[in-house]
Amino acid sequence: LTTPILQGLASLNSYEWRITANTVGPTEIDRSDITASGQSDSANNLRHQVLTQSSTSADDPEGYTSTTESWQDATKSCWFDGEEYSSSAANPVGSDFGTVLSGVFDIVIPAGNAQLVGDETVAGVAAKHYSFTIEGLGAGTGTQVETNQGDIWVAADGGYLLKYQVATTMRTAAEGTTAAEVFQLTFTLELTSVNQPVSVQMPAAC
């Protein structure tokens, strides 16, 4: 099972999406958290997203948090960093060839050893739910893989990605070893609505 993302999204009139990504390790305070959400109105070539990133570490326990909001239409991109708006003109070459290239160069979610779990519904769309493990995780590094779990939901009609999530835990040495470090990753990408009305408006400040 392989599921191309760009080709699937290009087939939709509109959609809303959400991403969460969290990494922790080697200590609990060493962590990075990313959340993002957005809307796309393909008919009017309008897109909007909000991205929040935060990070802490043993060297910087206070860490930081930043949020950026951005918009895009056929002529420009605009973003707001919490203090000021910035914008730039769209690249006409990118506008002309972007659609063509997205059919040639795609982001593909691989799940080669996927097993069908059953029929479910995601974002109001009938979906096939598969579970899988990430093949080759930690191979050749001496790392011990403690968690390797993946799930993917694919539209029953159209075959496009609706939801993808993975959870991994890896240990650099055997449990109980003094030098052992543990690293965890959880990641979820999902569509929250498909072909439903969305409201995307470029701010006047752009």
Q: pLDDT tens, 48-60?
A: 999 999 999 999 9
pLDDT of residue 141: 80
pLDDT of residue 54: 97
Of 136, 42, 59, 160, the C-alpha closest to 150 is 136
Question: What is the model's pTM?
Answer: 0.85
Of 37, 190, 49, the C-alpha closest to 123 is 190
Q: Which residue do the tokens 């760009």 mark?
A: 6
- Mean of pLDDT values over 72-76: 90
pLDDT band for position 34 (50/70/90)? very high
Q: 88-101, pLDDT tens digit by residue?
A: 987 666 555 555 66
Judging by beta carbons within 10 Å of its beta carbon (0-12, 13-18, 19+), is residue 206 exposed, middle or buried? middle
Point out which residues pair with 109 in neighbouring strands.
3
pLDDT of residue 185: 94
More confident residue, 179 or 24: 24
pLDDT of residue 164: 93
With 80 as the cut, is the pLDDT of residue 2 above it? no
Q: 143-181, pLDDT tens digit by residue?
A: 888 999 999 999 999 889 999 999 999 998 777 677 788
Q: What amino acid is encoded at 128 in this protein?
A: K
For the chain, strand residue ranges (E) read 2-4, 14-24, 31-41, 46-56, 64-72, 76-80, 85-89, 108-110, 115-122, 125-132, 144-155, 161-171, 182-194
Point out which residues pair with 36 in neighbouring strands.
19, 51
Can you tell me the distance from the alpha carbon of 163 to that of 116, in angstroms, rounded to the nearest whole number? 14
Q: 98-148, pLDDT tens digit by residue?
A: 556 666 667 777 666 889 999 999 999 999 999 999 888 888 887 888 999
